[in-house]
Amino acid sequence: MARDGSPPPRPRCALPAWLTSPRLFAALLAFRLLNVSLVQTYIHPDETWQSLEVAHRSVFGYGFVTWEWHYTLRGYAHPMMFAVVYKILELLHLDGTRLILTAPYILVAIIAAAADFSTYHFAKRLGGSRVGTWALACSVISWTMGSGVVRPLANSAETALTAAAFVYWPWHAASRSPRVTHAPSLRLALAFAALSCIVRPTSGALWLCAGVVLLVRQPRQNRIRRTLHIVQTSAIIGVVAIIAMVGIDRMGYGKWVFPPYSFYRFNVQEDLATWFGNSSPFYHLVVSFPTMFTSMLPLIIHGVWVAHQTQTASMEPALVAIMASFAFSLVGHMEYRFLYPLLPIGFMYAAVSLQTLSGIAPSPKTSRLPRLTVNQLVVFLVATNLPAMLYLNLVHQRGVVDVMAYLRNADAASIGFIMPCHSTPFYSHLHKNTPMWFLSCEPPLKRAHLGSHYCEADDFEQDPAQFLQRVLVDPEDLKTESLHLGNLHPAPGSARPKPSHLVFYDVMLPRIHTYLTESGYSECARFFNTHFSGDSRRAGDVLVYCI
């Protein structure tokens, strides 16, 4: 019954029953397993270099880790998740099979399914079962979830843990919110939040914003006692999380370190994150949100307005998202994936809008938006998300993955990658202790060294033929042993033996063709990579030249 005693309005349409099935997580896991089976491309270097490569070296004893790990800027919590997967394969003697490539993505599927599942319960708690169902539909349809979160990124695990924390966070309920299905539990919410911070310490900025909103929104009655309880509980769980993080990193590094401090010193104190690109303060507003949500962004804006006007859902998540996005905009280097943890909030408000547009819930009196059928809304979302997801998973930048499959089966004595650094996966995809090197691009560790710092990749780009002529020499002409197996890498700009295989982008061929011909190299493989690239250095196919 409604508040005035009249019967509630009958829904105009029914939503799929399987979405609210008790077997929901199993269905979501099956869906995400299918989803990850489609991932045949490479979007973010961190999806292997900061996870699988680190885990591979930890378990198998060879591999390459980037400069961050030499200077303790990264935590081992996320790579250790994949190290467990690799260790199981090693113990079962299955690491020589294709499982070395697919098993990590089974873990990724579990993480993505957990994010879907938690998003559903978070939205259901704040807006009711239909809002929860619509939010789940948005999560399942979203190209960002289907192509970005389904990769072995720390951002993906952070998103799943953040969504789980949202489910139990003590949000201030709106006046017309339905009865909750999950009672708020500050301890449980903080436990998930702490885990997200262990996986990715910068997640602490989001939870600081959520904590401020929680404290400010406390009712006046017993405010001091409530505030002390929140602060005390947060402090206890925070200390336990820090101890756990330090212990994990002690295992990973073999010594006592505190990566968040090293990260702060590099990114804030020295402000060297801009080495990887300097972003506009409005980057997240004009790039991240439109990129992550695409066709859902108007729905999210409408949903926030509807929630504010009708009081059918709490406005606190929107406030937390706004504050967190502002906090994440204070750094110089930004990427849209840094806002992945805000996906559940966006899906929840998009669901409020979709429920209103479908006529299931009353809209504000001033709204003149047309009523749409459920089928129309679903078709619109699928048509604007599925093609992007399929293209990014199956087509865009697949050559850099295909070339590693080729090299894994090739009789390569040594391999050199003369392309922008971290353009391809590395030992995690080769899984052979073959000598390999790539053009390095490590930043300086002091801002004062920016002007004099040597970057091998930049040196190569200025005159690639001259660079190769200078650094690639016949093995017998080397005075010292420069071949490296897994754990070693040539010093930037130093001489190294000519590799049996050179890998590079097609766009580079005209600049080095004469050198390759004179040195005895010829094309032995070519792989389509992408139809377009935002980086002119990565244009064209991926070529393999061998002696």
Amino acid at 12: R
Residue 484 belongs to some domain of the structure: yes
The count of structural domains within the chain is 2
Kindly write down the DSSP assignment for every residue of 459-483, as one continuous string. Answer: HHHH-HHHHHHHHEE-GGG-SS---
Residue 9 belongs to some domain of the structure: no
pLDDT at 1: 41
Residue 143 belongs to some domain of the structure: yes
45 CB-near residues (< 8 Å, 6+ apart): 422, 423
Q: Are residues 340 and 482 in the same domain?
A: no
Domain boundary among 343, 363, 394: 394
**Angstrom distance (rounded) from CA 169 to CA 112:** 20
Q: Tokens at residue 253, please?
A: 């590094």
Helix ranges, 311-359 (H): 316-328, 343-357
Q: Which of 306, 488, 510 is nearest to 414 (CA)?
A: 488
Q: Are residues 428 and 381 in the same domain?
A: no
Q: Which of 358, 376, 403 is nearest to 501 (CA)?
A: 403
Q: Are residues 358 and 419 in the same domain?
A: no
Decide: helix, strand or coil at residue 114: helix
**Angstrom distance (rounded) from CA 278 to CA 266:** 15
pLDDT at 60: 96
pLDDT at 178: 61
CB atoms within 10 A of CB 331: 18
Max Cα-Cα span within the chain:
93
pLDDT at 20: 46
Decide: helix, strand or coil at residue 10: coil
Domain boundary among 371, 394, 417: 394
Q: Are residues 276 and 207 in the same domain?
A: yes
Residue found by looking up tokens 């990427």 in the block: 335
120 CB-near residues (< 8 Å, 6+ apart): 19, 24, 132, 133, 135, 136, 139
Q: Are residues 73 and 93 in the same domain?
A: yes
Residue 4 belongs to some domain of the structure: no
pTM of the entire predicted model = 0.91
Q: Tokens at residue 214, please?
A: 């929680």
185 close to 164: Cβ distance less than 8 angstroms: no
CB atoms within 10 A of CB 55: 26
Over the chain, what is the mean pLDDT?
Answer: 89
What range does the domain containing 527 cover?
A: 399-546
Q: Are residues 129 and 23 in the same domain?
A: yes
327 burial (CB, 10 Å; 0-12 / 13-18 / 19+) is middle
Residue 6 belongs to some domain of the structure: no
Torsion of CA 125, 166, 111, 157, to 10 degrees: 170
70 close to 140: Cβ distance less than 8 angstroms: no
- What is the percent of the chain where pLDDT is above 70? 90
Residue 1 belongs to some domain of the structure: no
Q: Are residues 31 and 76 in the same domain?
A: yes
Task: Give the helix/strand (H/E) hosting 380.
Answer: helix 374-394
pLDDT at 371: 59
Domain boundary among 359, 394, 429: 394
Distances (CA, A) of 404 to 29, 151, 369, 456, 472: 28, 17, 51, 23, 22
293 close to 144: Cβ distance less than 8 angstroms: yes
Q: Which of 383, 341, 401 is nearest to 39 (CA)?
A: 401
Q: Are residues 352 and 490 in the same domain?
A: no
Rg (CA), the chain: 26
**Angstrom distance (rounded) from CA 479 to CA 495:** 10
Residue 5 belongs to some domain of the structure: no
Q: Which of 7, 9, 2 is nearest to 355 (CA)?
A: 9
pLDDT at 417: 97
Q: Are residues 87 and 140 in the same domain?
A: yes
Task: Give the helix/strand (H/E) hosting 35.
Answer: helix 24-37
Decide: helix, strand or coil at residue 514: helix
39 CB-near residues (< 8 Å, 6+ apart): 105, 147, 150, 151, 393
pLDDT at 276: 77
Amino acid at 523: E
Q: Are residues 193 and 239 in the same domain?
A: yes
CA 485 to chain centre: 30
Per-residue pLDDT of the chain (547 residues; tens, 9 = 90+): 444 444 444 444 444 344 445 689 999 999 999 999 999 999 999 999 999 999 999 999 999 999 999 999 999 999 999 999 999 999 999 999 999 999 999 999 999 999 999 999 999 999 999 999 999 999 999 999 999 999 999 999 999 999 999 999 999 876 666 655 555 789 999 999 999 999 999 999 999 999 999 999 888 888 889 899 999 999 999 999 999 999 999 999 999 999 999 999 988 888 787 777 788 899 999 999 999 999 999 999 999 999 999 888 899 999 999 999 999 998 888 899 999 999 999 999 999 999 988 876 656 654 455 556 777 888 999 999 999 999 999 999 999 999 999 999 998 999 999 999 999 999 999 999 999 999 999 999 888 888 888 999 999 999 999 999 999 998 776 655 444 555 567 888 889 999 999 999 999 999 999 999 999 999 999 999 999 888 899 999 999 999 9
- β-pairing verdict for 496-497 and 472-473: parallel
Q: Are residues 511 and 453 in the same domain?
A: yes
Residue 10 belongs to some domain of the structure: no
**Angstrom distance (rounded) from CA 440 to CA 459:** 10
Q: Are residues 408 and 359 in the same domain?
A: no
Q: Which of 293, 278, 420, 415 is nearest to 350 (CA)?
A: 293
Helix ranges, 142-264 (H): 143, 154-168, 186-199, 204-216, 223-253, 259-264
